Amino acid sequence: MLFFDSIPKNALIAMISVIAILIIATLIQYLVAKKNPDKDHTELHLRTKSWWWIIGLLFLFLSIGTNAAIFFFGFISFLALKEFLSIVSTRQTDRNVIFWAYLCIPLQYYWVAIGWYGMFIIFIPVYMFLFIPMRMVLKGETDGFIKSAGVLHWSVMLTVFSISHIAYLLVLPENNALFGGIGLVLYLLFMTQFNDVNQYVWGKAFGKHKIIPKVSPNKTWEGFLGGMFTITLTAGFVAPLLTPLTITEGFIAGIIISVSGFIGDVVLSSVKRDLQIKDSGNLIPGHGGILDRMDSLIYTAPLFFHYIYYLHY
């Protein structure tokens, strides 16, 4: 088992558990579909199938090694940035600037790969922030300048800066051989996605009082609080196995992930509502675009990262 040798033991157990959950979910879905053959199950079927692809690819790149996984997250940033820039309106003159915005992805992930924390943390908020308007000035088109500068910087912050925090978890100095960087990544990704599922399930079962009907009519206080309850407990008990956090610190991590995951979801919903579209793309069958899947992570990744960074690194 040469392939798995490099994966820390607890991280490997976590991966196997996720696959077990996925197998159970798939089986349940087939049984439900068999019981109600007249209903249309295509959407759910596609969704589950896509989950297999997402988790398959993620685990594959995580198993190959740190650099492969960093490349994988960099490619996700690329797809997310491309999707974002495609749905917002951009000026035809900004094509050159957008080209530079893409080039910041390999650089940002290179800082991650060499573990240069100082550069990683300021490259996009400082250097790209100053560079984008400068490159726009060289083009000389002032009509719509403010809006364009704002949209372009916001897009790289959301899709490159935020998401690259997931990758940086992999290169944090190892302080426990049982879980390593992979453990942190799995913890963050699992809690974020599990939170989405839980808020949905709790909302379906008990949802009554809407939180922000104008943005997201399906989001209810019952779903939000129910999800937070489940995630806080799960995050607390899993924390010592996959992260340097204690159980109490894990409870707080759960609250952070649950609340910020919700916020990420509704922030991206507002973007789509503004543009009057339902999905940001159709790259992932049954889910929509890549941003529809990454919305919560855009918020949970940096907040979770800085929480554990402050406490343990």
Positions that interact with another protein (CB under 8 A): 78-79, 82-83, 85-87, 89-90, 92, 95-96, 98-99, 102, 275, 277, 279-283
Q: Which is nearer to another protein, 98 or 186 (CB)?
A: 98
Least distance to another protein, CB of residue 96, Å: 7
To the nearest whole angstrom, how small is the minimum distance from the Cβ of residue 140 to another protein?
A: 17
Question: Which is closer to another protein, CB of 2 or CB of 138?
Answer: 138
Beta bridge partners of 220: 210
Encoding tokens for residue 41? 């199950």
Q: What are phi and psi of 173, to 5 degrees?
A: -55, 130
> Minimal CA–CA distance to 72: which of 55, 85, 88, 92?
55
Minimal distance, residue 190 CB to another protein, in Å: 27
Closer CB to another protein, 79 or 119, in the complex? 79
| Cα–Cα nearest to 95, from 130, 129, 139 | 139
CB of 136 to another protein, least distance (A): 15
Other C-beta atoms lying within 10 Å of the C-beta of residue 102? 15
108/230 with CB nearer another protein: 108
Instruction: Quote the least distance from Cβ 266 to another protein, whole Å.
Output: 20
CA 104 remoteness from chain centre: 19
CA angle (302 as vertex; 17, 284 as ends), nearest 5: 55
Nearer to another protein, 87 or 241 (CB): 87
- Nearest approach, Cβ of residue 75 and another protein (Å): 9
**Around Cβ 223, how many Cβ atoms within 10 Å?**
25
Contact between 48 and 23 under an 8 Å Cβ cutoff? The reply is: no
Q: How far is the CB of 79 from another protein (least distance, A)?
A: 7
In sequence order, which residues have a C-beta less than 8 Å from that of residue 39 and are 6 or more positions away?
Answer: 33
**Between 73 and 179, CB nearer to another protein:** 73
Asked if 273 contacts 137 with a C-beta cutoff of 8 angstroms, the reply is no
DSSP one-letter code for 276: T
Angle of CA points 46, 264, 123, to nearest 5°: 110
Which residue, 174 or 274, has its beta carbon nearer to another protein? 274
**Measured between alpha carbons, how far apart are the two ends of the chain, in Å?**
32
